Amino acid sequence: MPNQTIPNYVISADRLTKHYGNFAAVDGISFDVPAGESFGLLGPNGAGKSTTMRMIGGVSQRTSGKLTIMGLDPEQYGPEVRAHLGVVPQQDNLDEELRVRDNLLVYGRYFGLPMSYLKPKADELLEFAQLTDKAKAKVDSLSGGMKRRLTIARSLINEPKILLLDEPTTGLDPQARHILWDRLFRLKESGVTLILTTHYMDEAEQLCDRLVVVDKGQIMAEGSPASLIREHSTREVLELRFGSERNTTVAADLAGIGDRLEPLPDRVLIYTHDGESALEKVTARGLHPITSLVRRSSLEDVFLRLTGRSLVD
């Protein structure tokens, strides 16, 4: 934001740290999120994403560093901070003994919202979450995707300006994910600040204006999905599979093709600005991969480059 003189950050973290015993789950991470931005934390399991989210959500105490949400320290102003937020936790924690609509009503009461507001609001949110016909159903009869949408609906009951989403689509089938992304995109368009963690690069690319790549509790890189790919990867990637036995041994024969070579157990990645011509060079050397694929670089490649590991293991 170059022409923004007064920073208007809804979330501001400065060397935020969280230790469990000797283990640093979050190790001095700093970031600022302006209002209305979709900000992502991308990283593998155990990177410290959820711990960061829990600190932002005002439910976990930090070991050191500074953190403010809407200018308030969550440790001092817990209820005030949490009143600003909508939270979608990694694991659904709906009350399965209550019916779908009652889950929304009961949750709204935690904010002291009156029933005269909650009843029409619950119906509106059920509509938004495409659950209107399930209003009276028991929660445990819902599919995973429906539960997730209900959790998102629940998080919106207080009309929060900031929504925290911890791996919103993990464990969902592709169709359910797309429905969810659509709903989240609408929220983003309506001006809600989204903070989300994910280990899916496509999710990050779809939803995030800006993201940080997190590994071992630290920020490895920061930027928009496109700029991260531009900075840390090439335009295209050539994926070759020579069979699990040969992938690593053949790497030596591929030296010099493309800008960079990444031999993995199941495939060899060649980073290049032109995948097709790289493939021609490979075949010209008399090497015949079982399969070959030219694709655009993704955040997965950025992550691989930065950490030497894949996102989903």
Partner 1 sequence: MTSQHTGTPDQPAPGQKAAAQPATAQTTTTAPPVPAAHSPKISAERARKFGSWYYAEHALKVMNGYRWTLLAYSVGNPVMYLFAMGVGLATLVDSNSAQSAFGGVSYLAFIAPALLSSATIMAAATEFTYPVMDGFKWRRVYYGPHASPLGVHQIVNGYIIAIAIRLFLMSVIYFGIVALFGASPSAWGSLAILVAVVCGLSFGLPLMAYSASITEDKGQFALVMRFIVTPLFLFSGTFFPLETLPVFLRWIGWISPLWHGTELGRLLTYGYAEPLWLTAIHVLYLVGLALLGWVLARRVYERRLGK
Binding site for partner 1 (CB under 8 A): 57, 59-61, 70, 77-80, 82-85, 87, 89, 91, 93-98, 102, 106-107, 109-113, 116-117, 120-121, 123-124, 127, 154, 157-160
- The nearest distance, CB 109 to partner 1, in angstroms, is 5
- The nearest distance, CB 305 to partner 1, in angstroms, is 33
Q: For the chain, where are the E strands, in sequence order?
A: 9-20, 23-34, 38-42, 64-69, 85-88, 162-166, 193-198, 210-215, 218-223, 236-241, 260-263, 268-272, 291-296
Longest pairwise C-alpha distance within the chain: 75
- The nearest distance, CB 160 to partner 1, in angstroms, is 8
**Closer to partner 1 by Cβ: residue 64 or 224:** 64
**Closer to partner 1 by Cβ: residue 52 or 307:** 52
> 3-class secondary structure for 11-39?
EEEEEEEEEECCEEEEEEEEEEEECCCEE
- The nearest distance, CB 76 to partner 1, in angstroms, is 12
**Closer to partner 1 by Cβ: residue 113 or 137:** 113
**Closer to partner 1 by Cβ: residue 129 or 257:** 129
- The nearest distance, CB 94 to partner 1, in angstroms, is 7
Q: Is the dihedral of CA 73, 77, 80, 82 positive or negative?
A: positive
- The nearest distance, CB 73 to partner 1, in angstroms, is 14
**Closer to partner 1 by Cβ: residue 144 or 243:** 144
Query: b/e string for 212-234 if b means 16 or more Cβ within 10 A?
Result: bbbbebbbbbebebeebbeebbb
Report the C-alpha gap between 87 and 49 in whole angstroms.
14
**Closer to partner 1 by Cβ: residue 44 or 78:** 78
